[in-house]
């Protein structure tokens, strides 16, 4: 029997509400940034929209270095 490792905090899914809190941006700003390619595209799971926390953190690092 194969055991799967538990996902780390970096690997968890982040909802739109959490994304708003993490990035400190409004819903419309986040969606605009997704369309412009500044934030990774979310994925749908069970009819809801999620991002990978690790991808958001990587995106934030790139934004810091670009500023």
At 8-33, the pLDDT tens digits run 666 899 999 999 999 999 999 999 99
Give the pLDDT confidence score for residue 54 in this predicted structure. 93
Report the b/e string of 1-22 with b at 16+ CB within 10 A: eeeeeeeeeeeeebeeeebeee
27 token code pair: 């819903």
pTM score, two decimals? 0.77
Alpha-carbon gap, residue 65 to 67, rounded angstroms: 6
Give the pLDDT confidence score for residue 11 in this predicted structure. 82
């Amino acid at each position: 029997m194969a055991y799967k490792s538990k996902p780390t905090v970096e690997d968890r899914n982040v909802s739109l509400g959490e994304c708003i809190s993490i990035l400190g941006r409004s819903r419309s700003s986040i969606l605009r940034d997704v369309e412009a390619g500044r934030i990774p595209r979310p994925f749908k799971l069970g009819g809801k929209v999620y991002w990978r926390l690790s991808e958001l953190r990587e995106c934030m690092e790139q934004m810091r270095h670009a500023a």
